[in-house]
Amino acid sequence: MPSLVLGIESSCDEMAAAVLQDGKTVLASRVQSQLAVHQPYGGVVPELASRDHVRSVSQVVRAALDEAQVSERALDAVAVTVGPGLLGSLLVGLSFAKALAYRLGIPVIGVNHLAGHLAAAELAAPELVRPYLGLVVSGGHTALYRVGDGAAPKLLGETSDDAVGEAFDKVAKLLGLAFPGGPALAQLAESGREDAFALPRPRLFEPGYAFSYSGLKTAVARLVREHEPLDAATRRDLAASFQAAATDVLVAKARRAIADEGVARLAVVGGVAANQRLRERIAAASRADGFAAYFPPPELCTDNAAMVAAAGARALAAGERHDLDLTAFSRLALAAARA
Ligand code: KG4
Ligand code: ZN
């Protein structure tokens, strides 16, 4: 295991850098949010994200090294997210990581962002042993993996359209909440009635582990139009009914995968893993079905570089090596590569 790994993560609208010791101790983890840059537009604007990353990357890396009290000469490797994500954003972190590794004469290792999210669960809970199932739920991803002994997690299923966090954000916008509205929607839902509106549970009864969220969002949009102008009680009920539908599907598919795969451990990672209803329902399922559920703390759930350093350290320890011709891939390129 390389003793000091610098992690860099810039796949979307956060620039993050972290220093990890021995694959398990986070010496520093810095995350610079671009919320203020994108909020006026109600969503992430890719070109603005890349430009802000170019501005901030060296400062964020420097701050992480300073906080860790590690000189760059002491680093053993640089781990960096190579995709999936916004290409322009990824290229900033990747180019910086390669230049730094080149200058220091140390290896650079490319990390899949999803493998990074899963590594966060292992970093937070050393008792989480493989194999386990990983549910990655964020603004960009909704996917279920089997994490075994092999280097790459095995994809069991993913969303065919919107990600669950994206659906939370879009429905929040329909209800007049500011971007990113997921947490605000969850708060509004607390005082609403889950059964006030009958919303679809997309793909619930389909075999396999595919998810879909655009139809659910459209169903809410239709209800919003029908009930306009929305009174406070209707807003709360819509929020609660949507949240219930969105999270029920995740719980049901995770339970099914646990049974089918015969694996009694589930890690839930990504920004939506902070959702209280999802946590409660997974916890209840874990008691009923007899599996262990793991939720990393919020700072490891949302995008960060400690998870990238952890995944990179593990890959290096397993003998994986990447050259300086390492490149980035967006979601589309990933889909093409799979086909
Ligand atoms: O992992 P993350 O920080 O970034 C991505 O990789 O996307 O996830 C952010 C997403 C946003 O869509 C946000 O609305 C959602 O996670 N989110 C929540 C909650 N907290 C964050 N969604 C539902 N309930 C929450 N409590
Ligand atoms: Zn992410």
pLDDT tens-digit readout, 148-188: 987 789 999 999 999 999 999 999 999 999 888 999 999 99
Q: What is the pLDDT of residue 180?
A: 85
Q: Are 162 and 214 in contact (CB under 8 A)?
A: yes
Q: What's the 204 CA to ligand 1 centre distance in angstroms?
A: 22
> Which atom of ligand 1 lies nearest, measured to the CA of 113?
6
Q: What is the pLDDT of residue 2?
A: 79
Write the pLDDT tens digit of every residue in 70-107.
999 999 999 999 999 999 999 999 999 999 999 999 99
> Ligand 1: which of 141, 142, 168, 276 to mutate, most ligand atoms within 8 Å of CB?
168
Write the pLDDT tens digit of every residue in 281-328.
999 999 999 999 999 998 999 999 999 999 999 999 999 999 999 999
Query: How much is the average pLDDT of 267-288?
Result: 96
Q: What is the pLDDT of residue 338?
A: 43
Predicted confidence (pLDDT) at residue 335 exceeds the cutoff of 50: no
The CB of 84 under 6 Å from ligand 1? The reply is no
Omega prior to 180 cis, within 30 of 0: yes
The fraction of the chain above a pLDDT of 90, given in percent, is: 90
Could you say which ligand is closest to the alpha carbon of residue 163? 1
Q: What is the pLDDT of residue 274?
A: 92
Q: What is the pLDDT of residue 11?
A: 95
**Beta-strand pair 132-137/265-269:** parallel
Asked if 4-117+301-338 and 130-295 have one fold, the answer is yes
The CB of 168 under 6 Å from ligand 1? The reply is yes
Helix (H, G, I), strand (E, B) or coil at 7: strand
Q: What is the pLDDT of residue 332?
A: 56
Q: Which helix (H) or strand (E) holds 317?
A: helix 306-317
> Which atom of ligand 1 lies nearest, measured to the CA of 274?
26
Predicted confidence (pLDDT) at residue 339 exceeds the cutoff of 70: no
| C-alpha–C-alpha distance, residues 9 and 14, integer Å | 8
Helix (H, G, I), strand (E, B) or coil at 306: helix
What integer best gives the mean pLDDT of the chain?
94
Write the pLDDT tens digit of every residue in 51-67.
999 999 999 999 999 99
Q: What's the 141 CA to ligand 2 centre distance in angstroms?
A: 7
Domain ranges within the chain, ordered by starting residue: 4-117+301-338, 130-295
The CB of 312 under 6 Å from ligand 1? The reply is no
Write the pLDDT tens digit of every residue in 197-253.
999 999 988 889 999 999 999 999 999 999 999 999 999 999 999 999 999 999 999
CATH superfamily to which 4-117+301-338 belongs:
ATPase, nucleotide binding domain (3.30.420.40)
pTM above 0.75, yes or no: yes
CATH placement of domain 130-295: 3.30.420.40
Q: What is the pLDDT of residue 337?
A: 45
The CB of 272 under 6 Å from ligand 1? The reply is yes
Q: What's the 197 CA to ligand 2 centre distance in angstroms?
A: 30
Q: What's the 182 CA to ligand 1 centre distance in angstroms?
A: 6
| C-alpha–C-alpha distance, residues 303 and 14, integer Å | 7
